[in-house]
Chains A and B, each alone.
Chain A
Amino acid sequence: DAKTTQPTSMDCAEGRAANLPCNHSTISGNEYVYWYRQIHSQGPQYIIHGLKNNETNEMASLIITEDRKSSTLILPHATLRDTAVYYCIVKGYQLIWGAGTKLIIKP
């Protein structure tokens, strides 16, 4: 079973920040949090990952709480092309995927 819990769907206005939450209360100390997204049956696209510190790259920022039981993916200025299913994954021996969050960016 997936070790993460995400909302089924979210909306965000174009140009605003999209904040996607994820709960991973059973995460172990050496397990990373990974985020991928999948645009309509294409291959998943890697976004970002982190262990305990906040991370930022050209696509997004990842905020991990101090107790590591939850995290938030932030897309700073969402565009229509960011509409996708976003998966939060706790990476141990393998990637175990849940159902993800369907993010819809509205004009």
Chain B
Amino acid sequence: ETGVTQSPTHLIKTRGQQVTLRCSSQSGHNTVSWYQQALGQGPQFIFQYYREEENGRGNFPPRFSGLQFPNYSSELNVNALELDDSALYLCASSLEGFTDTQYFGPGTRLTVL
């Protein structure tokens, strides 16, 4: 059984650019959640995808968008990057919706210059 994987590991972008981060869920899991973690803080919920539909969203602007594919992998897209978007982006998968335990990937470190 493979765990949650994320790509790329690290990424450097400049302000105003767009970025796409990718996540493959654990085998058998149909739900993917995305989190942003600034240095020294706990993760903050961005949104969740369940069976290819957005199933909940945190307090993030519309320039943060996502997608889930039929194989339940997911993408996080961020447009018009700002310096404050520099963070560790975490993806977590769970078996079914909000009720089940979330298992996290290693994260993608995004630096915006």
Contacts and interface: CB of A to CB of B under 8 A. Distances in A.
Q: How large is the interface on A (under 10, 10 to 19, 20 to 34, 35 or more residues)?
A: 10 to 19
Interface stretch (A18-26, A43-51, A70-78): A43-51
Contact of A99 (B33, B41, B103, B104): B41
A46 B93 CA distance: 12
Contacts, number: 48
B42 A43 contact: no
A59 interface: no
Contacts of B28: none
B49 to A, nearest CB: 13
Interface stretch (B11-19, B65-73, B74-82, B105-113): B105-113
A99 B102 CA distance: 18
A21 B36 CA distance: 25
Given A49-B101, A93-B56, A44 B45 contact: no
A46 B101 contact: yes
A46 to B, nearest CB: 6
Interface in B27-54: 33, 35, 40-45, 48
B88 interface: yes
A46 B45 contact: no
Contacts of B88: 41
B56 A94 contact: yes
A72 to B, nearest CB: 20
A43 B4 contact: yes
A2 B48 contact: no
B58 interface: yes
B101 A44 contact: no
Name which of A42, A44, A98 has the most chain B CB atoms within 10 A of its CB: A44
A10 interface: no
A94 B98 contact: yes
A87 B102 CA distance: 14
